[in-house]
Amino acid sequence: MEYHVGTLPFVISVPHGGSLVPGSIPDRTCNNPVFAKDGLTIETALEIKNYLYQITGCYPHLIISNLRRTKLDPNRNIADAACGNSEAETAWNEFHNFITTARNAANQAYNFKTFFVDLHGHGNPIERIELGYLLYDDELELPDATLNTAQYINYSSIKNLANSNKNNYTHAQMLKGSKSFGTMLVDKGYQAVPSQDIPFPGTTTNYYSGGYITANHTCYSSGAPINGLQMELNYSGVIDTPPNRVLFAKAFSEVLFDYLNTHFDMNWNACQPLSAEKELKESGEVYLYPNPALKGDFVCLNHLGEGVYFYQVLNALGQELKSGEISSDNNRINTEILHSGIYFLHLSQPEKQQRVLLKLLLNE
């Protein structure tokens, strides 16, 4: 389980993208388990984290399960998730405690003007993003007047926002109106349901309305005062390639900011960038971010000059572990093959006799 601590009012969990299969945890067999992996959701969440850092200098709170779903399903109650295995139960508790810690920190910093997203991927043949507010497909087809009653507001994962938002939008408007999360995604070029374009999914589309995580870590639960939703990403055009994940991370991040600014009187002062990195940005020197980084992060370089650079990642003994080309238009290096430690990044442009040596700290 990983918790990437943030200082933005966004909490993102990724329960089904893991690949680890420790032999000490048996495969789940209880209560007809589902084993499907949400491919590329961890990679997508890290892109979102990196993009938010690029534009703010701050991070979202990010919680990741690295266990394959055959071993643990954090989006189930503990009995169905871990099937009685004590090691899996420990991991389950860590995952959910991390979310609780993150949402409490965000709520304290931003006076409960925060948002939670439980991130998934789906394999439905209908290529669109599904937003789950804990309302079933047939309930989303109900008249607006019905959705705006206390009964259906209390079923909702954005209950608090429906009851109190800056522009007095109704619950139905928050679900599928012009300033709903889904419509904001549509405005960025991504089909989403519910939204103005697609107000309800239909009752034969295997739509996901939200699961255990959304029910227990949003304001649907009285003990979790944070608005949020479950997001199911379609594959093609969203997460299928690195460039598409970069584009989606940008759109998703912009929607998060637009959504909170639209519905809350936001104060962003709690976002505290690292002062040293801020000074580097202002100096115009080449610098790495994030630094320190976490294994699996994309490390980016800013203020690269014109042209293509050759890079080498060297360990403390000067041994090359990774190399390639990098430029201002393609300025990211994947740290997947590296482990915790201190590395040196050597950049060169032989034709210009230009060389830069940077230190990278990596944690797992």
Q: What is the pLDDT of residue 107?
A: 96
Q: Please report the pLDDT score of residue 364 as a whole number.
A: 57
**CA separation, residue 231 to residues 137, 182, 278 (Å):** 15, 10, 33
What domains sit in the chain, N to C, each tagged with a CATH number?
A: 2-263 (3.40.630.40), 275-363 (2.60.40.3080)
Mark 276-288 as b/e (b = at least 16 C-beta within 10 Å).
ebeebeeeeebbb
Number of CB atoms found within 10 A of residue 312's CB = 17
Q: How does pLDDT run across 269-314, given as a tens digit for each residue?
A: 888 664 434 443 444 567 777 766 777 777 887 777 778 888 888 8
Q: pLDDT value at position 209? A: 96
Q: Write the CB contacts of 303 (distance below 8 Å, at least 6 apart in sequence).
A: 284, 285, 286, 287
pLDDT, position 329: 78
Please tell me the predicted confidence (pLDDT) of residue 359: 66
Q: Count H helices, E strands: the chain?
A: 11, 15
Chain centroid offset of residue 106 CA:
15
Q: What is the pLDDT of residue 76?
A: 97
Specify the residue for token string 């000067």. Answer: 318
Query: pLDDT for 8-20, tens place per residue?
Result: 999 999 999 999 9
Residue-level pLDDT at 300:
80
- Whether the model clears a pTM of 0.85, i.e. scores above it, the answer is no
- Write the CB contacts of 5 (distance below 8 Å, at least 6 apart in sequence): 59, 61, 102, 105
The predicted pLDDT at position 56 comes to: 84
The pLDDT value recorded for residue 301 is 78
For residues 245 and 256, give the distance between their C-alpha atoms in angstroms, rounded to a whole number: 16
pLDDT along the chain (364 residues), means of 10: 92 96 96 91 94 87 95 97 97 96 94 97 93 98 98 98 97 98 98 98 94 97 95 96 94 96 92 50 61 73 79 80 86 81 79 60 61
